[in-house]
Amino acid sequence: MADFHATLRQHYKLEKVDLLVLEETYVGDVGPGDELAVLLDDGQLVSFSVKDIAWGSAMDGRNPPLTLIVEGLDGAEPPKGATIAPAT
């Protein structure tokens, strides 16, 4: 997980979790329990925990579409294009 980096395509706020749909250019591995952070437009770094992941399908299986189901954004709304990386 230490080498995981991604760019946010879309953010969805649900009642108890947030969904972070990632660009297919992500690198590295990620899984439930991993602690990540997202950089907001105002420069604030918000940490969150990956609760689960959802894989999509693609013609090219190297980087299938990936959605992170996360907890801990606490109302933060990361913008499209935000950087996601391991929390420090």
CA separation, residue 49 to residues 59, 60, 61 (Å) = 29, 28, 26
60 is written with which tokens? 């090219």
State in Å, rounded, how far the first CA of the chain is from the last one: 12
- Cβ–Cβ under 8 Å, residues 68 and 20: yes
Kindly report the pTM of this predicted structure: 0.88
pLDDT in tens, the chain (88 residues): 558 999 999 999 999 999 999 998 999 999 999 999 999 999 999 999 999 999 775 555 566 679 999 999 999 999 999 999 999 7
d(CA 75, CA 62) in angstroms, rounded, equals 32
Domain layout of the chain by residue ranges: 6-37+55-86
